[in-house]
Structures are given as C-alpha cells and as structure tokens.
Amino acid sequence: MLPTPSHLPIANLSTTSVIILSTVILYCLKTFFSYRSAVRSTGNLPGWHTFIGSFGLVGFLFKKPRGKLIGGSLRAWYRKHLDFQEAGQDIINHIYFVPFVYQEVVVADAAVIKEITSQRAKFPKPPYNELRLYGGNIIASEGDEWKRHRKVSAPAFSERNNRLVWEETVKIMTDLFDNVWGEKEKVVYDNALDMTLPIALFVIAVAGFGRNVSWQSDLVAPSGHKLAFKDALRVVSRDLYTKIVTPKWLFHLAPTKHIAEVKLGCEELEKYMAEMIEDRRAAEKKEERYDLFSSLLDASDAESDGAVKLTDNELLGNIFIFLLAGHETTAHTLCFTFGLLALHQDAQEKLYQHIKSIVPDDRPPTYEEMHLLTESMAVFYESLRMFPPVLGVPKLSTEDTTLATSDHAGKKVVVPIPKGMVVGINICGVHYNPRYWEDPYTFKPSRFHGDWPREAFLPFSAGARACLGRRFFETEGIAILTMLVSRYKIDLKDDPEFAGATLEEIQEILFEIRQGITIAPARVPLVFTRRQ
C-alpha cells in the first residue's frame, strides 16, 4: 500500500533526524580518534584539555578560563604557572575540540626555552601576516626575508639613537611638568594611560620619525591631510587591534564610525610616511639624523645589492612595527609600574631616595647617569616580569624531535615533538615559576639586584628573534620613570571600587587587563602629588 500524504512529513522528519544523528556520531567519532592520536603523539603528556580552546577566533570570544569547558584567550595571564603546577612539570599539552581538535605543547622551562629559541631553523616563528599592514617587516618575516630586514634594521638602533631617545624624553617630561601640570599640587587621572600613552607617542614621533610633537603642537591638519600627524599616529597605535581583526573587505567598506576613523588614521599615517621618504630623498643637503626612520632609509638606500635593499613598502612596514612596539608597550608597562608603586609605598620611597642619591639637585638626569639608576631599572624589570607585554610566543617544529625537562619531583621527562607541532613559550608561566622566582606573585624589585635568572626573564623574548629595540624601550622607560618619581609622589585615587578591599583585592581590581596586541591595564586611577 502506498503511503498517504499524511505519512510523508513523518517519513521526511525521520530521514532528516537520521542524517543529523549520523553526522553528529561521525563528528564525535572523528573528534575522539583525533584526540587520542594527539595525546599519543606527545607521549601522553599531561596538561589541560578543554572543549573551547584559548586560540583562534572561537577562543578569542572568551577571555577567562572556565573549568574544562572554556580555555580562555587570556588563560596564560589568569592561570600563570598554575597549569604547570597541577601537571607536575613545565612542559604540558593544551588540546581543545571546537571547531576541530587542536593541540599545542606549552613550555615554562627556561632551559628548554633557551634550546628552542637558539635553534631558529628547527623552531621558526609562524608567519604573522596580519602585521603586514603597510608591507613586509622584521616581525612578520622569517628565514632569508627576516635576515634581509634585520641587516637593514639593526644599525638603526644605535647608541646615537638611544641618546636621542633619552634627551627627547627628558624634554617631553619637562614640558609636561612645566606647561601641562604647571603649578598644580595634585594631578588626578581616572586612568593613568591617559598620561602614559601621549608621552610614549611623543617619544616615538621624534625618535622614530624625526617629528617633534608636544602637548600643544599639531592641533590642525596641514594642507593635503585630514588629520594632524600626531592624531594619525594616535589613532593607528590605539586602534591597531581593530584593523587586524576586521576582514579587509569590511575594513575597506568602513561600515561603522569607529572603523571609518581607524581607516582614515591608517591612510593618513601611510601618506605622512610616504611624504617623508620622498622629501628626504629629494633633499639636496642630507641632514645627519639619528631617528629610526632616517636610519632605515639611509641604510636601505646605501645598499646596492637588491637582495638586501628594502622596498618603500617594507620601509613603511618596519617603521610601523617599531611604532607599535615602541609606543604601546612602553605606555602600558609604565602604567602598570606606576600602579605598583602606588600600591607599594615602601618600594616607591626606596626608588625616590635612590634617584636623589644619583641626582641630588633638581636638574634632569643625564644619559650618562642611566647605568647608575639601578633601582629604576629594578622597578621597571619587576613590572615587566609581573606584566610581560606578550603572554606567549609560538614556534613551529620543522622536524620530529624531542624536548627534555624534569618534573617537579626531579625525574627526567622526554617529550616527543612531532613535525608541524606548535610549541608555545608561555612567558607568564616562566615569570611566575617558583623554580626561578621566589614568591613570584609579590612585587619585589630587589630580586633584580645582584645575580638573577636572566634566562627566565623573557619580556623581550630570547635568541636571535629577541626584541631589536630593547635598549630603545629601556632608555625611554627609565627616563620617564626616574623623572616622574623624582618630582611627584604616586598614590591611588580614592575610588569606590577600592572601598573596604584588601591589598590583594585592590591589586586584582587595579590590574584587570584588556585584550589587544599586547596586554594593557583596563583602568589605573592615580593621583600625582608634587614633592616638596
């Protein structure tokens, strides 16, 4: 007997259900076998296994880890060394299941990290194509391309450039004290980033681009531009993350006011940089300049070998990367540092007394005195240890190999690393590892006096791919920190959020971080009081 029309929907529903159920079963079976294969490939390495991972687009939708369900894109920050502590060793697995099985071996063993970073051919860096905003550059390249970028870029970070950084930073801070804060006894910021971001921006403008800007300058865009140079620089450095995560086609359409502003900032900054290249090449008399832009341009133009010379787009790409590294990381680190000193008044007083012992009068410190400011460096380094700009560095194994570590009981553990495996250097895991740092959750600048575990200090990464601008960054940071603490006392702003909270609770509130290219404090409310 043929089915009646009333029977057909039931039959169709049954068929659809079977297809869906079969698909789910097949997906589960595939996921299970992929998971088992992943676990076996690294010798049943312990670690954390979550439904939704810490990486990729899906992972970035969730900030904090939540048990076995969500890894959390900021897991390295919130867990620090705890995942390694629970696993009983400093090389562990991270495996997640959605949207597919993904595995990464994560390392917090300083000796193993040294082995990884010293073998560039064996453990190269994956390409950062999203950072090729203006062109190829030293961060987004690898292999021969990276060598070419480094050969041209390295001479730009010279002693003369470092001196320029110090001297211009002193001018910018003096301008802040004299012409912005003026005669005020107290200066209050709801978020200290509102101070540190402009300072770092002005320093990178002059030491990176050779453009003198100040708190009062560049108020109007010049002819042919829609934004002043300072404003274009500020927009791009502040909203780079928007540019990176927005698909190219959507960014081009600029469907929202925010994206349109970022798009305009990127276009204006590119136009300014192109004009600088053209102007300096066309100039009849070559001025001797020590800013990064001029040094890169001179070094590239001097090369006759086409394999070494950078294209104009690559010049733009590199100076843009130096803008990002030299601006955002400095501003964020200083904001964390000022917050820590506000919380730890004894450490602030010790720093102040040390500065006055080196610079007893009211004059600014000189570049020649930088090496004497050991307490400033210790405070700066301790801030970088507790708040590393980048939480992790990925590497890619190009061959089947092994990594040897010891578990927390002292037993040797050999971990197989298959070809193609991502090996993540967990910087937070190392910086909070009690094997290297006594009482790692405590702010203790004194740990950076005398001998300290340099191989376990990785805010600048390590090996050949370590930060090329480290000295630039340190010079700027030490000058700003020293000048500010010598003139002003730093305190927490009286904020309702802190009412009745313990020191640990205040620190947790104060140092809530937000996600970006580098970690940034969400809000650090501070008061700066003129010293008598």
For 505, other C-beta atoms within 10 Å of its C-beta total 12
Tell which wins on pLDDT, 362 or 454.
454
Q: Is the peptide bond before 99 cis (omega within 30 degrees of 0)?
A: yes
Radius of gyration of the chain (CA): 26
Q: How confident is the model at residue 207 (pLDDT cuts 50, 70, 90)?
A: confident
Give the pLDDT mean for 321-346. 89
Lowest-confidence range among 262-266, 307-311, 476-480, 496-500?
A: 307-311
Q: Among 19, 20, 50, which Cα is nearest to 35's?
A: 50
Phi-psi group of 2: left, alpha or beta (phi > 0 → left; psi -120 to 50 → alpha; rest → beta): beta
pLDDT tens, position by position, 67-105:
888 888 889 999 999 999 999 999 999 988 877 888 999
Paired strand residues for 514: 520
**Three-state SS at 404:** strand
> How much is the pLDDT for 249?
85
Structure tokens at 107: 């390392």
Give the pLDDT mean for 474-486. 97
Q: Among 321, 365, 330, which Cα is nearest to 140's?
A: 321
Indicate the annotated binding residues for heme: 467
Task: Spell out the alpha helix ranges (H) of 402-468.
Answer: 427-431
> How much is the pLDDT for 370?
97
pLDDT tens, position by position, 441-472:
999 999 999 999 999 999 999 988 888 888 99
> How much is the pLDDT for 4?
52
The domains located in the chain, with CATH, are 5-94 (no CATH), 157-389+459-530 (1.10.630.10)
> How much is the pLDDT for 154?
84
**Three-state SS at 27:** helix
- How far apart, in whole angstroms, are the C-alpha atoms of residue 30 and residue 259? 40
Tell which wins on pLDDT, 66 or 406.
406
> How much is the pLDDT for 53?
80
Examine the pLDDT at 2 and tell me if it is beyond 70: no
Burial 236-269, CB ≥16 within 10 A → b, else e: bbbbbbbbeebeeeebeeeeeeebebbbbbbebb
- How far apart, in whole angstroms, are the C-alpha atoms of residue 120 and residue 117? 6
Cβ–Cβ under 8 Å, residues 171 and 336? no
For 76, other C-beta atoms within 10 Å of its C-beta total 26
Structure tokens at 355: 């500065």
Examine the pLDDT at 352 and tell me if it is beyond 90: yes
Mean pLDDT over each residue of the chain, to the nearest integer: 87
Helix (H) or strand (E) holding 354: helix 345-358
> How much is the pLDDT for 375?
98
Q: Residues 6 or more apart from 411 whose CB is under 8 A from it? A: none
**Three-state SS at 433:** coil
- How far apart, in whole angstroms, are the C-alpha atoms of residue 497 and residue 214? 34
Examine the pLDDT at 288 and tell me if it is beyond 80: no
DSSP structure string for 83-141: HHHHHTBSEEEEEEEESS-EEEEEE--HHHHHHHHT-TTTSPPPP-GGG-SSS--TTT-
Indicate the annotated binding residues: 467
- When mean pLDDT is compared over 203-217, 312-326, 387-401, the highest value belongs to 387-401
Q: Among 166, 348, 320, which Cα is nearest to 232's?
A: 320
Paired strand residues for 520: 514
> How much is the pLDDT for 284?
63
- Percentage of the residues of the chain whose pLDDT score is greater than 70: 94
Q: How confident is the model at residue 229 (pLDDT cuts 50, 70, 90)?
A: confident
Sign of the torsion formed by the C-alpha atoms of 440, 442, 443 and 447: negative
Tell which wins on pLDDT, 360 or 218.
360
Give the pLDDT mean for 169-177. 95
Q: How far is the CA of 94 from the CAs of 40, 58, 423, in angstroms? A: 13, 15, 10
Q: Residues 6 or more apart from 321 whose CB is under 8 A from it? A: 131, 137, 138, 139, 140
DSSP structure string for 270-322: HHHHHHHHHHHHH-SS-----SHHHHHHHHHHH---TTTPPPHHHHHHHHHHH
Q: How confident is the model at residue 1 (pLDDT cuts 50, 70, 90)?
A: very low
Q: What is the pTM of this model?
A: 0.89
> How much is the pLDDT for 150?
86
Cβ–Cβ under 8 Å, residues 479 and 377? no
